[in-house]
Amino acid sequence: MPTATDVREQVVELAREFARDKIEPFAAEWDRTSHFPRDVIDELGKLGFLGMCTPEEYDGMGLDTVTYLMVLEEISAADSALAVSIGIHNAIPTTMLVRHGTREQKERWLKPMARGELLAGFALSEAEAGSDAASLRSQAIKDGKHWVLNGAKAWATNAGTADLMMIMVRTDTPNARRGAKGISTFIVPTDSKGYKAAKPEDKMGLRASNTAGIELNDLRLPADQMLGEEGMGFVYAMEGLDSGRLGIGAQGVGIARKALELSLMYCAERKQFGKAIADFQAVQFKLADMATRIEAARALAQRAAARKDAGEDITLYASMAKLFASETAMWVTTQAIQLFGGYGYMRDFPVEKLFRDAKVTEIYEGTSEIQRIVISRSLSKG
């Protein structure tokens, strides 16, 4: 009988090999052509990586969160665009369904998601409602045994490539607005009449991931496609984001780790003034600081994951992990470009992509400013 440690080692090794052989060699090309590699995601799905933390009774791998983060780090180090597509699927829609889905919803949506047959995403943001997501305006109106959704969502990962999206819309009425308590979550198959993903955004980084707006035009859903209770959608979204932010932490660590690995190799090879630049103490200190910050970011994320596995409330710790890891990714990739000198600024060298990919980790799933608000609020509550 394999121990939990054996399982962790095997799963992480499988992810590392997959990332090395089937992701990393193609990542630069996918980035250049903005190609979303659905076939590779499907292969990851067949190996169980779309149901990493889904309990085994729902066809998932039932991994602990620490192992999940180790896998995401491996995939992010190879291509964080791909990591975010599967990270969102695993963290947010999956968590929502595991916690709040009915038995029928789990059979119909969660199990195929865990088996890798369906890819999911999550749409909370709107053009006018980003950090202040509770001010979203898309609306669902009850019509007998159905809900009819209208509105527009912005920047949803996987919106144009997923099979289903968890969509947050208002279910309160214009004359009785209830703020965050007026929002509900719907399970929306992307082939529903009235669902239209916009043209994918032309992004600075994560160019192989699909990010798009969604138009909701008289999209009619049976009432049993509402998730959980009416008016609880914002709470479910925030719960999902706690898990999501841990994943962004692992993503930041993966990007930073790859930038360090490439920098170590480059500095050993690149010669100036008759010796390898790695022999200069200023360069050595930079590498030392990069390695130290990465280690700290990984420890913070894994400690938050361990708290989640122990059943603790992780809102504070997920924000700390996401904040620190994303700022580490940005700082480390900036140092990497500096170490590569002029070559670092060229598209031909992979640190340039890592730098572009790192930036968004400070923005999505709550900007760094929003993480600081969450942390300071939690501190002031004691």
Ligand X SMILES: Cc1cc2nc3c(=O)[nH]c(=O)nc-3n(C[C@H](O)[C@H](O)[C@H](O)COP(=O)(O)OP(=O)(O)OC[C@H]3O[C@@H](n4cnc5c(N)ncnc54)[C@H](O)[C@@H]3O)c2cc1C
Q: Which residues, numbered 115-154, are part of the site for ligand X (CB under 6 A)? A: 121-125, 130-131
Considering beta carbons, is residue 71 or 165 the nearer one to ligand X? 165
Toward ligand X, which CB reaches closer, 160 or 344? Answer: 160
- Per the annotation, the verdict on 365 as an active-site residue is yes
> 40 forms bridges with which residues in the sheet?
none
Closest to ligand X by CB, 96 or 370: 370
The amino acid at residue 176 is A
Which residues partner with 196 through β-bridges? 215
Residue ranges of E strands in 18-67: none
Q: Does 318 bind ligand X (CB under 6 A)?
A: no
Residues 250-309 that bind ligand X (CB under 6 A): none
Least separation, in Å, of the C-beta of 381 and ligand X? 17
Q: Which is nearer to ligand X, 125 or 185 (CB)?
A: 125
Q: One symbol per residue from 194 to 233: x for binding ligand X (CB under 6 A), - otherwise; what is it?
A: ---------x--x----x----------------------
- CA 169, chain centre distance (Å): 21
Using the rule CB under 6 A, which residue among 198, 276, 306, 363 binds ligand X? Answer: 363
Q: With contacts defined by CB under 6 A, name the span among 2-10, 65-73, 314-322, 360-368 that binds ligand X.
A: 360-368
Shortest approach of ligand X to residue 156 CB, angstroms? 4
369 lines the binding site for ligand X (CB under 6 A): yes
Residues in Cβ contact with 58 at an 8 Å cutoff, skipping those fewer than 6 apart: 51, 98, 106, 110, 111, 114
Shortest Cβ 318–ligand X spacing (Å): 15
Residues paired with 176 in a beta bridge: 173
Residue 270 CA to residue 276 CA, distance in Å, equals 5
Which C-beta is closer to ligand X: that of 211 or that of 328?
211
Nearest to 153 by CA among 183, 127, 185, 186: 127
- The two beta strands, 146-157 and 195-197, are unpaired
Tell me the number of residues near ligand X by CB under 6 A.
22
| Least CB distance to ligand X at residue 130 (A) | 2
Closer residue to ligand X, CB minimum distance, 74 or 365: 365
For 13, 83, 233, 367, 376, the CA distances from 251, given in Å and listed in that order, are 17, 7, 26, 15, 24
Q: Name the token pair of 161.
A: 């490539």
Q: Is 86 in the site for ligand X (CB under 6 A)?
A: no
**Residue pair 217/139 in contact by the 8 Å Cβ criterion:** no
Q: Chain centroid to CA 253: how far?
A: 13
Name the strand (E) or helix (H) holding 170: strand 164-170
**CA dist list (Å): 333 to 3, 246, 342, 343, 356:** 37, 20, 14, 14, 9
Position closest to ligand X via CB: 130
Phi and psi for 99 in degrees, rounded to 5?
-80, -35
User: Which one of 100-108, 189-197, 220-228, 367-375 is the stretch in contact with ligand X (CB under 6 A)?
Assistant: 367-375
126, 239, 362, 365: the catalytic one is 365
Binding site for ligand X (CB under 6 A): 88, 121-125, 130-131, 155-157, 203, 206, 211, 360, 363-367, 369-370
Q: Hey, which residues are catalytic here? A: 365
